[in-house]
Amino acid sequence: MDAILLHRIDAAKNMRRFYRLDVAPDLFGRWCLAVEWGRISRSGRLRLTAYESAAEAREALARQRRVKEQRGYVAI
């Protein structure tokens, strides 16, 4: 599965943000949802959340994507 890259740009508010979502296996057999966010052209913050199955991790990714798109982020 390819990573999903979302961005939100609003010049009036000086807002240039990105949001990256990805699902990948870890070394212990679990699946992780990797979420990275921050300002475009800067290093972002990273959060990993472990799930027991790939289906659960993909479902969490889809939920997170819907939330961000409702807040104005668009896919690149």
Characterize 48-68 residue by residue with b for buried, 16 or more Cβ atoms within 10 angstroms of its Cβ, and e for exposed: eeebeeeeebeebbeebbeeb
pLDDT digit string (tens) for 31-61? 999 999 999 999 999 999 999 999 999 999 9
pLDDT of residue 2: 80
The CATH code of domain 4-75 reads 2.20.140.10
pLDDT of residue 38: 97
Q: Token pair for residue 11?
A: 């010049």
Residue-range domain boundaries for the chain: 4-75
